[in-house]
Every structure is written in structure tokens, then in C-alpha cells.
Amino acid sequence: MQGRKVYQESLFVNFQLSDYVPHDNIYRRILGVIDFDHLYKLTLPYYGREGQKSIDPVVFMKFMLVGYLENINSDRRIIEMSRMRMDILFFLGYNIDEPLPWHSTLSRTRQLYGQEVFTSIFQQILSLCIDKGMVSGKRQAVDGFFIKANASLDNMVRRDILEDAEMYAKELEENVEKPSPRTIELPKGNERRHSGLAPKKNPSNATHVNPNDPDAKMSVKSGKVTALNYLGEVSADTASHVVTHVQAFTADKHDSQCLPQVLDVLVKNLLVNGLEVSEILADRGFSGGEGLRSLEQMGIKGYIPNRPQVVYERKGFVYDPQRDSYTCRNNTTLPFKGMSGYTNKEYRTSCADCKGCPLQSICEGYSAKRKYAVVLTNIHKPYYDRMHERMQGKKASKMMKIRQSTVEPVIGNLVNHYGMKKVNTIGLAQANKCLTASAAAYNLKKLMKYIPMLRKKALSMSSRIGINNITAFVHNILSLKTTLKNYFAAKTTLYSGLN
């Protein structure tokens, strides 16, 4: 007989949420691994002693992890999905009929807490990964990527207009007799600038800004369109691709400018856990004098290809490090004359030295317009030269392949599976919190999935030859062990009887 299910809600239900969450569920396993209680003490300075109670700091941080574990960067969607998932409710500590906080509470609490709150949970998870042997610490791969900001290019305005608006607003506040804003007349000469907010043909970060998010900067990647972004820097351990440090910067900076600051925090993160960094792998975007100098000062060996613009040899000129001067083919000395810009040292002859020189036509430093020879050298040239020599070896080629297979997949996961395609916050400080929480969620999932190498080999062998064959093999080993034990016991008894 055909059955038909008729649904009717029960008035009284005996329901225990923990009975319906499997023991191997990731959120249930996280509760047994992570201790969130330190957040109460860490966030205590952000609250007063009176007033309405806030959201539980532990619950807030769990909401953040849930959002990035589920690849959701909308606070509203995090609340909606958590309401429908029993495992997440169990993880949060809410009953099935208990109302969840408003989504705006998550936004306000994120703005309230400082970066140290998010960094603490990241460092705790990183320490657990290190304790399990997932991080070697010796070799780190570093790379950067653009994070789409929560701002639009359509709202860009010229900086001079924004400055005028701020100036007039300040004048209005200082004016005792405040006229109606509708009757304000701008000084003559500003009509054209104030007439429209449309950007010019080629706007740049120097001329235009988004008033809703001034920290968001225009940037473009090869093959992509120009957008307002942030720059995220990621460091990953090459042993098991665990993220060891993340940090957000404004997108108008280059990777090479961010490297010294990244190195400083990265070394401290690992040193706290008893690990020392000895090698850094990065692409040529990180090639910069300050970064290379920081590597040598910290005693870290870097594998970073130099930029194509770096000049290693000056044809026709020989450098004398003791005298800090160059000598041309005609044995004329080019002494150091001073700095040209911020990073270039200038060496040059005089007009009298080059007058009548027969090698003027083939001299690369000579100019007929100025009538003397000039050689410009970067102040960090020794660091570039040493890096160039290191990158010529076979190990350097191997390190570049390791870098590509380590940090680039990590960034791909953060962007596509951990909510880092776009931030839902405003400002650099908030973007940094989002990036830190995303990296913490990434490491947390790797921690939950981690299988030690010996166990992994055993599982791999069992899948190849079958569990029944493994059982039979172990049984034979035990039988052989018993047989040998009996044999040696009988042999010992025989010898004792003969004696």
C-alpha cells in the first residue's frame, strides 16, 4: 500500500542539539581543540561596567570563523545560514529555538575590537599547527594579491574638491551666524572645480580619492580592469602550506616596499614558537633594496629574482670599492659627487677630463650635451649583486618552483574559498582584521584535516593492498614472533641441560 507522510508540528518536543551533531563534524571537533576563553580578558578594556550587555566575545569570534570557513563575507548571510545549521548552532552555543544576534552587531563589534584580538586567535591556531609538527619554519614563501575593496570607482572625486568641501565645512562651523547650506556661495574661481565630480580621463591615486573609503586605492593587475583594492601579503610555510603571517596594505604600495615590515612580524610569529626562519622565497615583485638589506641584517637567505632594470655591470667602467670611484677606458677617474634622487649615487668627471678624449663616441656615460661622463649607481647595488649571484645556481631554480607551488595555491584558496575575494568593511584597519580572520580559518581547517606522515603512509598502504591483507600480514608477523620466541627458549633450555 502506498504511504503518504502528513506533516503536523508537535506542541512539545524533547530535543537535544548535541545528539544530532556527528562526532566527526568539523565544528564539533574545533570545540575540542581551540580554547576561546582568553578572549574575555583580551576584550575587557573595550567595555564599561554599566549599560546593556554586548554580544559574547567568544560568540563573535566564532561567527567570524564560521563566515570564512563557509566562504561568506556578508554579516547578514552569516546570521541567516547559522540559523539553519544545527552544527553551527552547537558550535556557537545556541539552542535551536534561541534567537541569534542582529547582523549589525557583528559589524559594530568588528569595528570596536582592535587588531590584537584577531591576531591572538590567528597566533593560537598557528601555535597548534606548530605543536602538531605541521610547520618547519625554516623556509617561507611570500607573495601578494589584490583584495577588492568595498568601494566603487563611480564614486571617485578629485582631491581638490574634497579639500574644498572640508575647508568650507570648517568655516561654517567656526561662523557664529551660520547661513543655510543652500545659500552658500563658493568663492569665484571654484565654479568649474565644484561643477561636477566626474573624474578626468586618466585619474590616479594622486588626483582622485573615494570619499567613502579613502584607504582603497586604484590598482590593476595584468589582464584585469582597474579597481579599488587593498594589497594583501601572505607568508606560507613550505612544509605543509600553513599560513605563518598575513597583513593588509594600501594597494598603491609595491610588494618590495612591504617586505621589510612583513619580515619583521613573520620572524616574531615563529620565534615565539621556537622556530627560526632561514630562507625566504619570493618573486621579482619583492626585489627592492630595503627588503634585501633587511634579509641580510636578519641573517636570512633570500631567493628573489632581481628586476630587469637592475644593472650589474657598467660597460667601460671599473669600480674601485676602496676609493669609491669608477675608472673609464681612458683611465680617467669618476669620483663620487653626491646623491641623485633618494637611491642613486652619482659619479662623474669634469668637462676638462673628457675634452679631447678619443673614446667619446663609444663611452656610455658621456653626453655631448653636458660634455662630461656620468655613472649612476643604486645605493643598494651590493645587495642586488649578491642576490644575482645566488639566483644563478641550480638551487635557486628549485626554490622558485617550490615558491610557486606553495604560496600561490594558498592565495587561491583564500580568495576563492575563504572570503577574500572582496572585503565587506571600510578602511585599511578593518581589511586587515578580515584578512587575519580568513587566514585563521584557513589554518584551522588544515589543522582539522591534518594526518601525520606515518599514519598517512599506513592508510595509503591499506588502500593499495586491502585491509584484509593487512590483517593477515600482521597476524603472520605475530605468529612468526611467537615461533622465534619458542625456538630461542628451547635452545636456551638445551644448552643449560648440557652444561
What's the CATH number where 444 sits? 3.30.420.10
Residue 57: give the domain boundaries.
17-113
Tell me what pLDDT residue 454 has. Answer: 46
> Is the per-residue pLDDT at 432 higher than 50?
yes
Please report whether residue 162 resides in a domain: no
Last residue of a domain, one of 335, 360, 383: 383
- In a shared domain, residues 30 and 51: yes
- In a shared domain, residues 140 and 226: yes
Residue-wise pLDDT for 448-469, tens only, equals 998 775 444 444 554 555 555 6
Please report whether residue 206 resides in a domain: no
- In a shared domain, residues 131 and 223: yes
- In a shared domain, residues 138 and 248: yes
What is the DSSP secondary-structure string of 78-128? HHHHHHH-HHHHHHHT--TTSPPPPHHHHHHHHHHS-HHHHHHHHHHHHHH
Tell me what pLDDT residue 166 has. Answer: 63
Mean pLDDT of 49-78: 93
Confidence band (pLDDT; 50, 70, 90) for 92?
Answer: very high
Beta bridge partners of 229: 148, 217
- In a shared domain, residues 32 and 81: yes
Please report whether residue 156 resides in a domain: no
Tell me what pLDDT residue 465 has. Answer: 52
> Is the per-residue pLDDT at 184 higher than 70?
no
> Is the per-residue pLDDT at 249 higher than 70?
yes
Tell me what pLDDT residue 492 has. Answer: 65
Beta bridge partners of 333: 327
CA 35, CA 403: separation in Å to the nearest integer? 33
Nearest to 228 by CA among 238, 241, 219: 219
Q: Is residue 88 within 8 Å of 81, Cβ to Cβ?
A: yes
Please report whether residue 56 resides in a domain: yes
Mean pLDDT of 134-159: 91
Tell me what pLDDT residue 223 has. Answer: 75
Q: How many domains does the chain have?
A: 4
- 323, 334, 380, 382, 389 from 320: Cα distances, Å: 6, 10, 16, 13, 19
- In a shared domain, residues 330 and 367: yes
All residues at 6 or more sequence positions from 206 whose CB lies less than 8 Å from its CB, including other chains: 159
Tell me what pLDDT residue 453 has. Answer: 52
- In a shared domain, residues 412 and 489: no
- In a shared domain, residues 239 and 291: yes
Position with higher pLDDT, 60 vs 361: 60
End-to-end CA distance of the chain: 87
DSSP 8-state class, residue 44: G
CA 407, CA 404: separation in Å to the nearest integer? 6
Last residue of a domain, one of 333, 357, 383: 383
| pLDDT, mean over the chain | 85
Mean pLDDT of 4-25: 83
C-alpha cell at 433: 582584521
Tell me what pLDDT residue 486 has. Answer: 72
> Is the per-residue pLDDT at 438 higher than 90?
yes
- In a shared domain, residues 146 and 227: yes
Please report whether residue 7 resides in a domain: no
- In a shared domain, residues 404 and 336: no
CA 10, CA 171: separation in Å to the nearest integer? 67
pTM, to two decimals? 0.79
What is the 3-class SS of 259-314, one letter each residue?
HHHHHHHHHHHHHCCCCCCCEEECCHHHCCHHHHHHHHHCCCEEECCCCCCCCCCC
Tell me what pLDDT residue 391 has. Answer: 93
- In a shared domain, residues 399 and 423: yes
> Is the per-residue pLDDT at 85 higher than 70?
yes
Range of weakest confidence among 12-21, 174-183, 332-341: 174-183
Confidence band (pLDDT; 50, 70, 90) for 196?
Answer: very low
Neighbours of 296 (CB within 10 A): 14
CA 465, CA 458: separation in Å to the nearest integer? 11
